[in-house]
Structure 1
């Protein structure tokens, strides 16, 4: 008898899980709260276990087609004067031959192409209730429909509804790192930001980057430290950005004023810390389970790796779904926890809290073109990747 899975969330983790389960003979159904597939997103490095998993799932050629190629890193003073540059050849060496630079939306698009027409997706829908029984899980949706399945996958992100209904309120799992983040795609390239480059301006406590991967592929990323993320979240995002970045004259004010009211990702930098990712036939995946944060730089890779691995363990234990979920978690958890620890350590890199933090970030980057330093930083980037 064919097994059925309901996957909540049609982002990277959910799409990858749908593809993997479809490939092993399951019948997945995707449930997505948004009314349509989201596009865009910030720039990510895709490597390590995620790259290997994408290769095994046959998605790698589509991802390589979207790879930006060599990208440099330019650091400016707040007034726009040049500080230093890490050449694109050095950045490529740091990422390695089995690494890609992509927009987050590129990964979703490549996965969506594989599931489109094969896996039903119910947009504009979310779940309202979950009830487990020995043989499966009963799911109720907000449109009045019900689904009986063998497995429920919560791939619905940091603010997971599946986690709330099955494991408890978000407050019991969320760990704020004392920073805020805002990110959006841009329909233009700001003056002074070179093509195929990450252009970064930072001062004590805050940083912003304009990332350009070529024509029509530009994104902006802002982050800053705060003792009270809840107070920042209560503000209008553009108001908060204007207050924090008012003392950076180079392009920040005009860029913030031009940001669209919608399409801006704005949240505190938070991790999800839980002592278990599954309960019976319900499992959490991706940011819903572990959320390593953008500071770790591995969330997309780990989402694809986790989804591919989930299918492997379910295929190896077809008659005991809960045991498969426990074995999957035991295999993946050490990697997720290592990446979470890296994200916590990297907060000083993304939002320097002192001149010492700036120095600790800048010195290795200034020396990165030297082969020994390139190798050292590359090993650090690809830890167990």
Structure 2
């Protein structure tokens, strides 16, 4: 088949998925423009875990080395009870040896900066541009923005997150599914935790609550807390630190120390939600990617990874074929995998947020009994995947 003429793509959203899509399409010879409604590229959030599948995908995009330099490798991952007793240690070193790379934790802002710098070398990133519609006519799709800007392209990719405007335009409004718990996140420094022995990264599990902590690189520590609560019961910004200290009073020392060491004004709080899977992601010359297509709960640490994988697969499926055929292949290759991870993430959330003492006891016994090989085998379809 003769090479297709150079094609143009518009990516809506300059988060992790959108920027990776720009890199992947550029590698395939596309002319790409990225549009984001934010006034500047400042990624909200704290840390993000990038397992082996994400790191290998970032290597394909040419930015894996920069991410490793800016982040921190996961060298230890313990599961503990709320009072610090070790339940089990996950086989991080064995997985790194098996997959040829460690998992990494990096600040979301650092990851976005690395991706944005790589994209900006070849691709314009337009901020303060809110996408409102896409009109398809005669093999062209016209992107319309709130300020009146209109841009023609061969393809529009909605990578605009959980509350995707592109998704709603294509498939209508759908309510989010609340998980039953809220999450609070923060960053402090390793120096501020100097009197709190962490023993490496860990998650501590208590009744209806858990707390995770890991090194973030550059002397920083990332933590998150997940607390069972009715939907809409997030504490105010002024109350977040005091509520956390109340919820985790008496817990394993690094938990309380990390909360106390964090600037209260920087603590983030969110309802944890996803959406039911869609039967399709594409319509004509418009498609979805990442959280816009398949938002998932964060319990497996795969939200960002799956967006990165989407980007590479989408670009590959569009190579040397027409757009409808390419989008159909993209959905066929990706939907079964990501929908499985959405289901697994919800199942994992139910397990780690248990409140019943007997069920907690049985869960902890089960976790302690799982061999390294069984754990690796269980998650190999996710972490061992190379797109």
Shared fold (TM-score, shorter chain, > 0.5): yes
Structure 2 CA distance for partners of 1:238 and 1:74, relative to 1, 3 Å: farther
Structure 2 CA distance for partners of 1:283 and 1:17, relative to 1, 3 Å: same
Partner of 1:344: 346
What TM-score results when the alignment is normalised by the length of structure 1?
Answer: 0.84
Selected match of 1:201 from 191, 204, 207: 204
Structure 2 CA distance for partners of 1:85 and 1:196, relative to 1, 3 Å: same
CA contact (8 A) 1:196 1:214 kept: no
Alignment partner of 1:102 is 2:102: no
Superposed CA offset, 1:131-190 (max 9, x none): 22232211122233221111111111111121122321142xx33222222223335644
User: Secondary structure of the equivalent of 2:40?
Assistant: coil
Structure 2 CA distance for partners of 1:64 and 1:142, relative to 1, 3 Å: same
Alignment partner of 1:315 is 2:316: no
Selected match of 2:32 from 28, 31, 37: 28
Superposed CA offset, 1:44-103 (max 9, x none): 13223x34433333333333334523432355665xx53117558x32224543442222
| 1:272 Cα deviation after fit | 4.5
Partner of 2:14: 10
| 1:268 Cα deviation after fit | 2.3
Aligned pairs, number: 370
Partner of 2:304: 300
Partner of 2:372: 374
Structure 2 CA distance for partners of 1:120 and 1:258, relative to 1, 3 Å: same
Structure 2 CA distance for partners of 1:262 and 1:281, relative to 1, 3 Å: farther
Partner of 1:45: 50
Per mean C-alpha deviation after superposition, the further-off stretch among 162-171 and 307-316 is 162-171
User: Secondary structure of the equivalent of 2:373?
Assistant: helix
Q: How many Å separate the matches in 1 of 2:264 and 2:324?
A: 44
Selected match of 1:284 from 288, 304, 308: 288
CA contact (8 A) 1:159 1:170 kept: no
Structure 2 CA distance for partners of 1:136 and 1:185, relative to 1, 3 Å: farther
Q: How many Å separate the matches in 2 of 1:45 and 1:14?
A: 17
Per mean C-alpha deviation after superposition, the further-off stretch among 135-144 and 152-161 is 135-144
Partner of 1:55: 59
**What is the Cα-based RMSD across aligned positions, in Å?**
2.9
User: Secondary structure of the equivalent of 1:44?
Assistant: strand
Q: How many Å separate the matches in 2 of 1:32 and 1:360?
A: 47
| 1:16 Cα deviation after fit | 0.7
CA contact (8 A) 2:74 2:201 kept: no
Q: How many Å separate the matches in 2 of 1:260 and 1:115?
A: 34
Q: How many Å separate the matches in 1 of 2:356 and 2:138?
A: 55
CA contact (8 A) 1:181 1:269 kept: no
Structure 2 CA distance for partners of 1:155 and 1:341, relative to 1, 3 Å: same
Q: How many Å separate the matches in 2 of 1:259 and 1:352?
A: 29
Superposed CA offset, 1:353-379 (max 9, x none): 3234534553355456xxxx1111112
After TM superposition, the structure 1 = structure 2 runs for residues 235-314 of structure 1, keeping only pairs within 5 Å, are 235-236=235-236, 239=239, 242-243=242-243, 246-249=246-249, 250=251, 252=256, 255=259, 258-261=262-265, 264-314=268-318
Q: How many Å separate the matches in 1 of 2:138 and 2:267?
A: 42
Alignment partner of 1:126 is 2:127: no
After TM superposition, the structure 1 = structure 2 runs for residues 219-234 of structure 1, keeping only pairs within 5 Å, are 219-226=222-229, 228-229=230-231, 231-233=232-234
User: Secondary structure of the equivalent of 1:382?
Assistant: helix
Q: Which runs of 5+ in 1 are unaligned?
A: none
| 1:17 Cα deviation after fit | 0.3
What TM-score results when the alignment is normalised by the length of structure 2?
Answer: 0.84
Q: How many Å separate the matches in 1 of 2:152 and 2:217?
A: 45
CA contact (8 A) 1:196 1:213 kept: no
| 1:252 Cα deviation after fit | 4.0
Q: Which runs of 5+ in 2 are unaligned?
A: none
Structure 2 CA distance for partners of 1:204 and 1:126, relative to 1, 3 Å: same
Alignment partner of 1:93 is 2:131: no
